[in-house]
Amino acid sequence: MSRKKKELKNQMAFGRRIQSARKEQNISSDYLAELCDIESSFLRHIENAQRLPSLPTFVDICNRLKVSPDAILVDNIDYSETDRLENLNARLKTLTPKQFEFVYKVCISILDNLEDDTM
């Protein structure tokens, strides 16, 4: 999938989640827009994947809907396996030797249990 298509797909999911959260709370788009001090047409454009809100507006929408931002962004952030491994490695490097040993043993135990479950 091209980057542009993926961005549009994510933007559509983003708008649907906001709309779904709004409807679950029986809030009209006009009323939510009023609460967030934005034009109702702008909110409809967000929900229909035609526009994206600024970060402060996004946070305000989430607060008014009593929904966490990660619930709206749930699959919009795509981390590759390499990114995750690099992040994990960077975090492991910050541990004391004692902390590292503990984390290592826990990870080995989890991996051993995963291997046992697949047999």
* Residue boundaries of the structural domains of the chain: 3-73, 81-118
- 3-73 CATH: 1.10.260.40
| C-alpha dihedral, 5 to 11 to 13 to 18, nearest 10° | -170
From 49, 59, 65, 62, select the one nearest 13 (Cα to Cα).
49
pTM given for the model: 0.61
Q: Region 13-18: what's the mean pLDDT?
A: 93
* Mean pLDDT, rounded, of the chain: 88
- pLDDT value at residue 46: 97
